[in-house]
Every structure is written in structure tokens, then in C-alpha cells.
Chain A
Amino acid sequence: MSSKAKRRVFLTIIFIVNVIFAFIVLFPILYCFNVSNMTKTEIYAYPPQFFARAFSLDNYRTALQLAPFFRFILNSLIVSGVCTAAQMVTGALAGYCFAMFEFSGKNVLFTIMLATMMIPSQAIIIANYLTISQWGINNTYAALVLPYLASAFAVFNMRQAFLSLPRELYEAALVDGCTRFKFFYSVGFPLIKPALGALGIYTFLDTWNYYMWPLIVVNTVDMRTVQIGLGMLQGSESTNFGPVMAGAMMILLPSIIIFVIGQKQLVEGLTAGAVKG
């Protein structure tokens, strides 16, 4: 075989392997999407059906009757939106400070911030729950967002972003009489937009998927987030899979959209600091 033919055979094998992997990843999602369109008879048919006979929204309607999914989605959008915005702001402020300023105690404070990454969230979740209960704010948006308004990851990520700005730019601006805060919001902030975008997408997906915290601080139906709402639906409809799959698709949609739109930025931003020889 010539080396060109060999190469072609090799690439064909690679392509087939890719198709198999892609199938494994995509199958559950596509299949469950199909199931969300099936009637109960189709779902329980033997042999199992892979395609719905007709596109039907009945299961979605049933899911919405069984549980207020739009309300859950609204709650999750509020919670994730607030957490994301807050983590971007608190992270950018602290990151800018650590990247640009010299002040006494800088190293100690930076170590302290990084140390919070070492404390697993599940290990402090009970104590946080007790704090929130003590304040009597269970079942509020405040309870859902408060512990997640700042993160060490965001601080660190933003610090890296500001460190990558040319130092001369900062110095020149200051010599021209620009205040440090003005540089932050009128020069620095726009320049680190890609990193900020990546952080925003990551944080949104992360907080959208939170499960344990909303599970313990909220127990009224109206304040549930999508993840808890889906669990509730699954628990009550253990024999009726159609509406559960419809619910799963409804809560997947926002995160998949955000992921597909922001994928490139997300990947670049996430890996910029981590992958280095």
C-alpha cells in the first residue's frame, strides 16, 4: 500500500471511531428527546420504539400541568443570572487588584482566597444551611444565591486575565492621570471581555446545575429550581416516563443553547490558564 492509501485507511478508521463515540454521547439525549414526543403506548411498546410516530407536545403539556416548569425555569434563570453576574463582578474586582496593585498583605490575602478552593462545597453546605435558617430566609432567592456570589475560581481566573494585559498600557494610562478604577472599568474590563465571557458561561452552566443547595434551602414548590423540579416530577411520576423526559428536555434546552453559543469562548477561557507545559 502506498503511504497515501495507508493514510486514507487510517483516517477512515479514525472517523469510524469518532462516529461510535459521538453515538454514545448523543444517543441518550436524542433518544430521550424522541421519547418525550411518544404516547404512553409507544413508550411501553415491545420491542422498544426509537422514533415517535408523530411529533407531539402532549407530554410537555402534562409535565407543565404536573409541575410549574416555567416557574422553575424562571427561578433557575434568576438564580444563575444573579450568581453569574455577581461572580464576574466580585471576581474581576479582586482579580484586577491582585494582578495590578502592590499592597501589604497581598500574598497572604491571595493565599487565603486560593485556600477556599481547597474547602469542598459539600463539606460546608450543612453549616451554610444552618446560617441561612438562622437568618430565617429559607425559601427565598437570597438563600439560593448568597453562598455563590463569589468564587475563588473566578478571582483566580480574572487575575490571570488581567495579568495578560500589557503592563505598559496600565502604566501609561496612570501617567496620563487615569485613576486606577477608571482604568479598570474603561480599559481593563473591555479588554478582558473574552475571559469574562468564558467565566460567565462556565458559572452559568455550573449554577444552573446546582442540586444539593437548592434541595435543602427551599421546600416550597414555587421556589424550586429546575433540577429539583425535575427530581420532584420523576419522584411522583415513576411509571409515566413521557412527561419526565419532556421535563428533562425543557431543563436541558437553556443550558445546551448557552453551551453551543459560547462553546469556543468557554473552551479557550477555561484552558488558557490550566494547560501549560
Chain B
Amino acid sequence: MGKKNGGAQPGAAVSVGPKKGKKTAFRIIEPYLYLLPALILFVIFVFYPFVKTIVLSFSITTPTGTFSMWNGVQNYIDIFTDVSFWNSMWITFRFAIVTVILSIVLGLIMAIVSNEKFPGRGFFRTVYSLPMAISAAAAAAMFTFILHPTVGTLNYVLHTNIGWLTNPKWALFSVEMVTVWMRVGINFIFLLAALQSVPKDLYESAELEGAGFFRKHWSITIPCISPTLFFLLIINVISALQQYAQVRMMTDGGPSNSTRVIVFEIFEEAFTNGRFGVACTESVILFIIMMILTRIQFNLEKGVTY
């Protein structure tokens, strides 16, 4: 940004040119033509469904999802008094905290250790960013095998006998760890780029004063990359609240509903129970939660100096 000024001049410079009269009307509507394709698509597939979701959240629908009658705030009351909804919220909350924190912290450590000068670091960087190319479905299939209680390798390596995906105590943890594995790549990419933008002389003067490796990163790296950390915090939370594919493929919400994240709940209400109104109510709540969280994070960011 910051290049805004001067934008009016080219238009003015041209309109005094030879062909002026004819083209004036076109010149006025021309910018909107560039926006039209994207705008039409946004209206039909983002704004309209958004409004529709809100409308349906206050109504009862037919099993095929058409509006049948108004229900006031009854859907909201039903949901807020529904144990299974709160269970989902609690699971989603835990899932988000664990996956967001771990995938950012691990991404940061990977960025730091692959930012030192040693032969072959290019290879490690490629490896660390690789999970972003791995789809949730493929990751879920691979880890379902690795975590399998009898044929899986994890139990063999750890000398344990745990039903990682079948024991309600472990299932959420397992899905969280797989999700961290999936998310670490994208975080690594952003954090490495942020690290490389930290001025080198800051580190040099810290070294002169005798600061060690950990001290250096704690008091220079972290403050310097805090804008990136905030940015990643927001996009990771938004993403974590919407995870679905690996949950469905690895545990299908079970065992004993222990991995039933909110999107799973929404999906089931709509497509298994045919209660599209209730599903929309839950979607609206999901949206509101995200709004609040992003708001809080923006406010926090303003309070931090860098």
C-alpha cells in the first residue's frame, strides 16, 4: 500500500487526449466490469448463502432443506440446552487450542533450526513444508494404518498396546497430533520467511554481548516476528475450528462421540437428521465464535508494540 496517491492523474491525463467524448461513459463503467465476475460469484455463493443460513437458523425446514415455518429463537434455545452441542463445542475448543499452539511452536522450531547455515538445509526446508501438499484424506488414511492397534507400527515402536483411535481417552489426542502434522508445513513456510526478515545485525550485537542460542531467539526472534505469529494465530484458529475430513475418516466422530467436532455435528444435523434449520443455527454460532476470536486477536495485536 502507500501508492494510492496519483491514481487520478492517469485518467485525467488520458481524458484530455484526442478520443475523449465518445469514451467517457465507458471510462466510468469500465472499472466495474473488471469486478463483475468476482462480485457476482461472491453474491451468489458467499453473501446469499450467508443470509440464507441466518434466515434458516430461525426456522424449521423440510427434510430436503426448504423453508417450512418460522421457529423464532427456538433453534438457539434447543441448541444451548443440548448436551451434545456443548460436548462438541468443548471438543472443538480443546482441539483448536492443542493443534494451533503445537503446530505454530513446532513450525517455529523447524524454521529456526533450518535457518542456520549448514549443508543440505534446502532439503530440510522442502521436507518441512511438504505436509501442506498432503491432503487430509491421504494423511488420515496413512495415520489410520500407523495408529492401528495391532498391525500399526506406533504401538510396536512404543511397546504399548493402545487403541489410539478406538479408545475414547486417546482418540482426540491422536486426531490432534495428525492435524498438527498436517498443519505444520504452512506455518513453517510463513515463519521461515519471517525469520529471514529479522535484521542480522540484531543477532550480531546480541552475540557480542554474550547471548546464547536460546536467549537470542527468545529476546530477538520472537518479538521481531510477532506480527507473523499473530497472523498465523488467526488463520490457524479459523482453520482449526473447521477441520472435518481427517476426523470423519479416522474416527467418524467416535469413539463415544469423543472426537465429535462442531463441523461434524453440523454435518450430521443436516445430512443424517435432515434438520437443516438446526444445522444452520450451529453454523451461525460457529461464525459468531470466529468473529469474536478474530476480534480479540486483533485487539491483542494492537496492544503489542513491535
* Residue ranges of A at the interface with B (Cβ–Cβ < 8 Å): 10-11, 14-15, 17-18, 21-22, 24-26, 28-29, 31-32, 35, 43-44, 46-48, 50, 89-91, 93-94, 96-98, 100-103, 106, 109, 112-113, 116, 118-124, 126-131, 133, 146-147, 149-150, 152, 155, 163, 167, 170-171, 174-175, 177, 180-181, 205, 208-209, 211-212, 216, 226-228, 230-231, 234, 241, 244-245, 247-248, 251-252, 255-256, 258-260, 263, 266-267, 270-271, 274-277
> Which B residues lie within 8 Å of A97 (CB)?
31, 34-35
Q: Which residues of B contact A29 (CB under 8 A)?
A: 130, 134, 142
| Shortest CB distance B149–A (Å) | 12
Contact B141 A25 (CB under 8 A): no
Which residue on A lies nearest to B142, using beta carbons? A32
Asked whether, in the complex, the Cβ of A209 is within 8 Å of the Cβ of B136, the reply is yes
B151 CB contact (under 8 Å) in A43, A127, A271 = A43
Chain A residue nearest to B106 in the complex (CB): A21
Q: Which of A14, A116, A234 contacts B113 (CB 8 A)?
A: A14
Alpha-carbon distance between A43 and B192 when the two chains are bound, in angstroms? 38
Please indicate the chain A residues that have their CB under 8 angstroms from the CB of B126 in the complex.
Answer: 260, 263
Residue-wise interface mask of B (217-250) relative to A, using a CB-CB cutoff of 8 A (1 in contact, 0 not): 0000000100110010000001001101100110
Would B130 and A120 count as touching, CB distance under 8 A? Answer: no
Tell whether B44 is near chain A: CB-to-CB under 8 Å: yes
Knowing A14-B113, A116-B42, A174-B13 are in contact, say whether A248-B138 is a contact too (CB < 8 A): yes
Give the docked Cα–Cα distance between A245 and B228 (Å): 36
Nearest B residue to A49, CB-CB:
B153
Closest to B157 in A: A48
| B145 within 8 Å of A (CB atoms) | yes
Within 8 Å by CB of B49, from A47, A94, A128, lies A128
Report B-chain residues with C-beta under 8 Å of the C-beta of A21: 109-110, 113, 124, 127-128
A28 to B66 CA separation, bound complex (whole angstroms): 44
Residues of B within 8 A of A10 (CB): 213
Q: A17-B113, A123-B283, A241-B145 are in contact. Are A89 and B37 (CB under 8 A)?
A: yes
Q: Are A127 and B50 in contact (CB under 8 A)?
A: yes
Does B90 reach chain A (CB closer than 8 Å)? no
Q: Nearest A residue to B143 by beta-carbon distance?
A: A28
Contact B190 A274 (CB under 8 A): yes
Asked if B11 lies at the interface with its beta carbon under 8 angstroms from chain A, I say yes
Tell me the nearest residue of chain A to B271, going by C-beta.
Answer: A216
Contact A120 B151 (CB under 8 A): no
Alpha-carbon distance A14/B181, docked complex (angstroms): 21
- Measured in the bound complex, the distance between the Cα atoms of B123 and A10 in whole Å is 19
Residues of chain A contacted by B124 (CB below 8 angstroms): 18, 21-22
- Give Cα A211–Cα B142 distance, bound, in whole angstroms: 16
By the criterion CB–CB under 8 Å, are B47 and A122 in contact? no
**Contact among B28, B30, B189 for A271, CB-based, below 8 A:** B189
The answer to whether A256 touches B130, judged by C-beta atoms less than 8 angstroms apart, is yes
Q: Does B73 contact A (CB under 8 A)?
A: no
Given A25-B181, A32-B145, A120-B238, do A227 and B137 touch, yes or no (CB 8 Å)? yes
A116 to B156, CA, bound (A): 47
B242 touches A121 (CB 8 A): yes
B45 A163 Cβ-Cβ under 8 A: no
Report the bound CA distance from A248 to B129 in whole Å: 19
- B135–A277 CB distance below 8 A: no
The answer on a CB contact under 8 Å between A211 and B141 is no
B65–A94 CB distance below 8 A:
no
Residues of chain A within 8 A of B133, CB atoms compared = 205, 252, 255-256, 258-259
Interchain CB contact under 8 A, A123 and B138: no
Nearest chain B CB to A271's CB is how many angstroms away? Answer: 4
Q: What's the minimum C-beta distance from B17 to chain A, rounded to whole angstroms?
A: 7
Whether the pair A11, B48 counts as a contact (CB closer than 8 A) is no
Q: Give CA–CA (A25, B110) in the complex, Å.
A: 11
Complex Cα gap A251–B131 (Å): 14
CB–CB B42/A277 < 8 A? no
A-B CB contact pairs (8 Å), 30 listed: A11-B117, A18-B118, A21-B113, A25-B131, A31-B142, A91-B38, A93-B35, A94-B39, A118-B291, A120-B286, A124-B49, A126-B65, A126-B266, A126-B270, A126-B276, A127-B56, A129-B270, A147-B45, A150-B41, A209-B137, A211-B248, A212-B245, A231-B137, A231-B248, A234-B140, A252-B134, A255-B134, A259-B129, A276-B197, A277-B227
Most buried by A among B64, B135, B194: B135
Least CB separation from A202: chain B residue: B132
Cα–Cα distance between A100 and B146 once the two chains are bound (Å): 52
- Residues from chain B with Cβ under 8 Å of A22 in the complex: 123-124, 127-128
Q: B244 contacts which chain A residues (CB < 8 A)? A: 122, 211-212
- Would you call B257 an interface residue if the criterion is a C-beta within 8 Å of the partner chain's C-beta atoms? no
A227→B46 CA distance, assembly (Å) = 24
